[in-house]
Amino acid sequence: MKSAQGRVRTALLTGGRAFVLSFASIVGSTVLFVLSVLSVVFVVLGLGLVTTPWVTEAVRRHANRRRLLAAEWSGIRIPVPYRPFPKDVRAGFTGQVERTTLLLKDPATWRDLRWLLLDMTAGYVLLVLTFALLVYPLEGLVLAAGLWRVFEDSTYWYGFVPVSGQGTGLAAAALGVALFLVGMWASGPLLRLHFVLARSALSPAPGELSQRIDRLTETRHEAVDTAASELRRIERDLHDGAQARLVAMGMNLGTIEALVEKDPAEAKKLLAMARTSSAEALTELRDLVRGIHPPVLAERGLGDAVKALALRLPVSSEVTVELPGRADAPVESAAYFAVSETLTNVVKHAEADRLWVDVHHADGMLRISVTDNGRGGASVGGGSGLSGIERRLGTFDGVLAVSSPAGGPTMVTMEIPCALS
């Protein structure tokens, strides 16, 4: 009995997801497809140079959202093969032309357009079929319960059953039950087929594998540069902070050794100064170590480390963690600092008074979402902190998706492929 209830609950959840997603499919994909085509056409008039980057960014956010849902709901991973913008893209009109040209040369831009066309047609039909098989049977039961009397003077077709009386109403109910059973069995595969269709349109061709390798090579170089920069920072902090204090403390101890018999009072003063210097040096060393790899992360794992981060925030926060194990240390460190940077952005820019953090692992993916009720308007690019987070996650073949309409709320979703131990 419980197994049957579980199957019904799962089927209804799948149908509900398909129902909600169908609006994004028919409305979102249709609007974005029309805007994209118009924007590309208007490039020759100059207007498209302004609109194309904005529209393309909106399309990519829409596609990335579908990628995340495909992984979360059906375990289907769709790669993100977008080419990064060079760091030396100029500002002004020349830079706008360059950005538009780079976007139009990126094969992923045209794959996204192909997917939008497919999503608002065949993809939408699959979604409608997914929830219709679960909802349409209700009409058959209502007809059998007495609605058939409305059609006594005419014939109403329910599927292939002509309803005109109680007997045919019961036949409609039997057909409805049969359709519901089919829907229970087919809802999951149909939703999965929708995402398989999206993967077929969005995935790069085999010939683009070299571009993916170039992207991974670039993110590796960025990681190496970041590591080198961190080493220089640590070196500088040690030299200017703790090392200087320890040297001064050593000189004070030498002076104390000479004064301990001649001037005990002065020696006591210098001892107090040495004690203060040692405490300050210890504090600086602890802060430095915490910046390299927080002790709570090493000792208690990512979940407790994120909770500790949230506790120090000046805004109300709620953290949900579902991790049955621990990821590799480099993945945990990247995820921790990505969350830390995201929370810092919320405090600095979002003007939010509440935020929610969700950390869980499913289908070989570590997924973290940070949502706030701030003013919105966050975006990736332009040297923002989110761009740094995207580069950090890219080292591990991770994905960053941002949903931040004007007026809020803002939801930043991070996904890193990894296994837990």
pLDDT of residue 34: 94
Task: Identify the top-confidence range among 72-86, 314-328, 378-392.
Answer: 314-328
Which of 359, 368, 376, 356 has the alpha carbon at shortest distance from 315?
A: 356
pLDDT in the model for residue 22: 93
Q: 3-class DSSP state for residue 378?
A: coil
Mean pLDDT over 358-365 rounds to 84
In the three-class reduction of DSSP (H, G, I as helix; E, B as strand; rest coil), residue 61 is classed as helix
* Domain range list for the chain: 2-204, 209-292, 297-417
Q: Which residue has the higher pLDDT, 160 or 209?
A: 160
The answer to whether residues 350 and 312 touch, using CB atoms and an 8 Å cutoff, is no
DSSP strand E in 138-235: where? 156-158, 161-163
Between 270-284, 308-322, 356-370, the lowest mean confidence (pLDDT) is in 270-284
* pLDDT band at residue 278 using 50, 70 and 90 as cut-offs: confident
Q: What's the pLDDT at 233?
A: 57
At 220 the pLDDT is: 61
Amino acid in position 81: P
pLDDT attached to residue 292: 56
Rg (CA), the chain: 30
Angle between helices 166-202 and 107-118 in degrees, nearest 10 = 180
Residue 171 vs residue 288, higher pLDDT: 171
Spatial CB neighbours of 125, under 8 Å, sequence gap ≥ 6:
none
- In this predicted structure, the answer to whether residue 201 has a pLDDT above a threshold of 80 is yes
Percentage, residues of the chain above pLDDT 70:
80
Lowest mean pLDDT among 49-63, 107-121, 195-209: 195-209
Integer Cα distance of 362 and 323 in angstroms: 9
Sign of CA dihedral 267, 272, 273, 277: positive
DSSP-assigned states of every residue in 133-166 = HHHHHHHHHHHHTTGGGGGTTS-EEETTEEE-SH
Beta bridge partners of 320: 358
pLDDT of 343 higher than 90: no
Confidence of residue 332 (pLDDT cuts 50, 70, 90): confident
Reported as a single tens digit per residue, the pLDDT across 117-175 is: 999 999 999 999 998 888 888 888 887 877 777 776 677 787 788 887 788 778 888 88
Cα separations (Å) of 190 from 175, 185, 186? Answer: 20, 9, 6
Position of tokens 């931040």? 404
Determine contact, residues 185/4, Cβ cutoff 8 Å: no
Lowest mean pLDDT among 29-33, 155-159, 198-202: 155-159
> What are the tokens at 14?
């799948």
pTM of the model: 0.54
Which residue matches tokens 């292939």?
160
Q: How far apart are the first and last CA of the chain?
A: 35
Six-digit token string for 162: 């002509």
Is residue 28 over pLDDT 60?
yes
Pick 95 or 194 by higher pLDDT.
Answer: 194
* DSSP 8-class letter at 278: H
Report which of 333, 334, 298, 108 is spatially closest to residue 219, judged by C-alpha positions. Answer: 334
Dist. CA 218–CA 221, nearest whole Å: 5
pLDDT digits (tens, 9 = 90+) for 256-270: 777 777 777 777 777
C-alpha–C-alpha distance, residues 136 and 15, integer Å: 12
Please tell me the predicted confidence (pLDDT) of residue 285.
63
Question: Apex CA 99: angle with CA 96 and CA 104, to 5°?
Answer: 125
Q: Worst-scoring range by mean pLDDT, 136-140, 245-249, 381-385?
A: 381-385
Tell me how far apart the alpha carbons of residues 241 and 236 are, in angstroms, rounded to a whole number.
8
420 CB-near residues (< 8 Å, 6+ apart): 323, 324, 325, 326, 327, 361
Architecture of domain 297-417: 2-Layer Sandwich (3.30)
Look at residues 90, 88, 70 and name the one whose alpha carbon lies nearest to residue 80.
70
Confidence at residue 38, expressed as pLDDT on a 0 to 100 scale: 92
**Count of residues in the chain:** 421
Give the Cα-Cα-Cα angle 306, 391, 235 (nearest 5 degrees).
75
